[in-house]
Chains A and B, each alone.
Chain A
Amino acid sequence: MSEPLNAFVLLANFVLVPAVAYGSQLALGALGVTLIYGILRFSNFAHGDTMAFGTMFTILFTWWFQSMGLNLGPLPTALLALPFGIIACAIFVLLSDRLVYRFYRKQRADPVIFVIASVGVMFVMNGVVRFIIGPDDQNFADGERFIIKAREFKQITGLSEGLAIKVSQGITVVTMIVVVAALFWFLNKTRTGKSMRAYSDNEDLALLSGINPDRVVMVTWMLAAALATIAGTLYGLDKSFKPFTYFQLLLPIFASAIVGGLGNPLGAIAGGFVIAFSEITVTYAYKKFANYIVPGDWKADGLMQLLSTNYKFAVSFVILLLVLLFRPTGIFKGKAV
């Protein structure tokens, strides 16, 4: 009777666990994008490189701590360095706001001008990151690698399929939950959070009721920097840090934010998981899975793959297209400019 159990473990190992981890990383990235969009009213194309920037500082601090012999035992040292990375990233982002975006805000420029300005900021950050840490792969993960290894799982349970869960995947999901809970508490319960939502809903009314716009903008940037650094570091721990990959991450992150509904934090999270799961489930080859659950000798010859993995990006963009066609504001109601 272990056949269905094997089938489930197989699916968990190759679909469920990776998709949940990847989805969490996308969700955190999309949250930053959606926050900027909701409150500052533009699509921040520099977000991918903000992630790279924050992660770079986290890595530099991690190396410093490692050289001093500081560590967290089984957990990666990067968690210890994370707050410093966030601070460095926030300083840089606030600087970019002071030097670039504030000028256009004073002029009450169109959102599209902000978008183009953010592309400029993106290229600058791109260059700064490559200048400081270089374009190559950087490894900074340490501590234990696995919560459970595939081989150990097989020995313990006696099943023929293994399940591997990496420490980085565990940390990613736990951090994501903590961060999202903290963010929602902040937005809904604190005075600053409420003023941010007011500013987002109606800028003029918010100004009339005495909300300080500079403060709202500053807090928003700091939150976005924190989210970007956390998402980037988690992604780097799970996979690896390479500036170019972070730039490429921009696409799935924006897809997540738009599918969920731009400007809606809940939507960003849902969007992240929708994109991650659709990329992996649609292109997974179900041959082995089917062989476990169908009875007797009725074995599948083909791979039972819906789409070749070449098309995995097409999948997320088809979903994006469908959502935009039938629910232009996203799954959860977002904003439309």
Chain B
Amino acid sequence: MAGEYIPLLVAVPLAGAFFCALAARKSGVLADTIGTLIVALVLALSIYAVVSPPSTHAVGGWPAPLGILLVMDGLASLMLLVVSLVAFLVMIYSLSYMNAYSGRWQFHTLFLLMLAGMNGVVITGDLFNLFVFLEVASLASYALVAFGTGKHELEAAFKYAVMGSLGSLLLLLGIAFLYGYTGTLNMAHMAERLGELGVAPITVAALVLLLSGFALKAAIVPFHSWLPDAHPSAPAPISAMLSGVLIKSLGVYTIARLVFNVYGASPDLLNLLLVLGAVSMGIGVILALRQWDMKRLLAYHSVSQVGYMILGFGLGSPLGILGGLFHLFNHSIFKSLLFLNSGALEQATGTRNLKEMGGLSGRMPTTSWTTLSASMSISGVPPFSGFWSKLIIVMACVEQGRWFYGAWAILVSVLTLASFLKVTKFAFLGKLGKGFENVREVPWPMRFGMVVLALLCIVGGLMLVPEVKEMVLTPAVRVLDHGILTLGEVVRL
């Protein structure tokens, strides 16, 4: 078996989390070291997963469908790469940023728990196991949102926890329905059984429950209302993780798995995804345009950008799926960068209100150009990475004859540009704001994280160079485009 390393992707961060809690309570430096090393190790494992062929691992030697099967296919490895790459850079950034907070070991413990949960969701082939990991990641994120323990943080975390639990409840119900109907929890086996048993009212009900639950985690309109409160309240590195990767691994990825690999993409279901995606895109961006709190603005854009991914998936064609996945990759890069930028600005100026900032490009050159490149990327200005994924999504819309959705994607892109030009205008251009004469650029660990992410925004288009695309993106597209996977196929990986 080639898949022996797969459990490590969960075990390593999980062990790191507990070790941090046990051994590093006294020493912040030790906690930092453990956190950084563990995340670096996870990144290395993820890169290994990308370059090595697909494989599976039966936990504890129990064969599927009874035991839990961990599946490392193209989609899982892509997601892992995204998650661990962002986690690593965010971790470096937080080494300096989190100096403003107390409770180093708690931060690292929760961070690593969240990472373990996300990795678990991505690699597991078992629906209930997925739910467990999803809860691990969610619970860690509730606590992290409240990390500042201020009034707003606690309120946002409470709302987030209530809404998140509602989502988990829906999911659990859906899983129970499906388990009762098919008698299995293994996703590939479940897909086979669903095919044999055919559509029944209970499968539709289960689909609705699962889709709603995952949509809540992905913050798709109308399930998005918790996100604009929760994401801005967390410390900046956590906001970057939440908006950058958490909503994707817990929400977008799971929707894709459910729709394509478990239920199979029927035209009705795809149409529903198209509508959900388009509505999210529009509502998110229009609300973002009105925001003056930089992090809240970014949070609404997450709602809008997730819509693009869902729209890409909803097209159902290989090109659309490629666009959706590539946009997922790019979005995690530029959105986490934007949240890190907002953290740098907040730390340097003490405010998140765009109206109070101004003229900071001279004082904070690194923050300024990295924000600009991320803004251009999310707005789809060539040659930044977001341009390429939006181009593919628009092409896919056109290819399917979905003119309206193509035009809609363009319109939302223009509004996104409007909104981000507002950010760069108010934060960086014009006259220096009052009291900012002594503002200085942030320390190097924060700059490092931002610069690497900004470079990734600039060269992100190279992911489409055929050699790279074949290795990273195409296997993931193939997994979704293949449709329902049978247990036999998965076990043979």
Partners in one complex: no
Q: Could you tell me which B residues sit within 8 Å of A by CB distance?
A: none
